[in-house]
Structure 1
Amino acid sequence: MSKHDENCDCGCNEEYGFDVDSTVTLTLDDDTVVECAILTIFPVNNQDYIALLPLDEDGDNDDGEVFLYRYSEDENEEPQLTNIEDDDEYEMVADAFDELLDSQEFDEIDEE
Structure 2
Amino acid sequence: MDEYMTVELTLDNDEVVECAILTLFEADGKEYIALLPLNENGETEDGDVYLYRYLENEAGEPELANIDDDDEYEVAADAFDEWMDTQEFEELDGEE
Q: Under a length normalisation based on structure 1, what TM-score does the superposition of the two structures give?
A: 0.79
Q: Check conservation: 1:4, 1:39, Cα contact below 8 A.
A: no
Contact 1:52–1:66 (CA<8 Å) still a contact in 2? Answer: yes
- C-alpha distance in 1 between matches for 2:17 and 2:2: 20
- Choose between structure 1 and 2: higher strand proportion: 2
Match of 2:22 among 39, 43, 59: 39
Query: How much has 1:107 moved relative to structure 2?
Result: 1.6
Tell me how far apart the structure 2 counterparts of residues 105 and 83 of structure 1 sit (CA, whole Å): 27
Aligned equivalents of 2:94, 2:6: Cα separation in 1: 28
Q: Secondary structure at the match of 1:64?
A: coil
- Matching residue of 2:93: 110
Task: State the partner residue of 1:65.
Answer: 48
In the other structure, the counterpart of 2:83 is 100
Q: TM-score, normalization: structure 2? A: 0.91
Partner of 2:32: 49
Structure 1 runs not aligned, ≥5 long: 6-20
Q: What whole-Å deviation, never above 9, does each CA across 1:54-91 have from its counterpart, x for those lacking one?
A: 11111111210000000011111100100000011111
Runs of 4+, deviation exceeding 4 Å: none
Q: CA RMSD in A?
A: 1.5
> Aligned-pair distance for 1:4?
9.0
Q: Which secondary structure state, in structure 2, belongs to the residue aligned with residue 57 of structure 1? A: coil
